[in-house]
Amino acid sequence: MKNVVRALRTQADISQAALAEAMGVSRQTINSIETGRYLPSLPLAIALARYFETTVEETFFDA
């Protein structure tokens, strides 16, 4: 599964650390999600999508 979290984050001009703080997770977890090594839980995926004012389907999708 692919995602556009890194693109959304850079568009919003925020750091991984700031996004991690907003999501209540570690910076490493944000990095792992962006590189596709870690697939977040549904609550975290929804929180990420809401943070960037988009949908889960647009943020996470099948390659």
Q: Among 8-16, 25-33, 49-57, which window interacts with other proteins (CB under 8 A)?
A: 25-33
Task: Determine the distance from the C-alpha atom of residue 46 to the mean position of all C-alpha atoms in its chain, rounded to a whole number.
Answer: 9
Q: Cβ closer to other proteins: 4 or 47?
A: 47
Q: How far is CA 43 from CA 11, 49, 50, in A?
A: 23, 10, 10
Helix (H) or strand (E) holding 30: helix 27-34
* Shortest distance, position 37 Cβ to other proteins, whole Å: 9
Q: Is 27 in the site for other proteins (CB under 8 A)?
A: yes
**Contact residues: other proteins, CB under 8 A:** 24-29, 32, 38, 40-41, 44
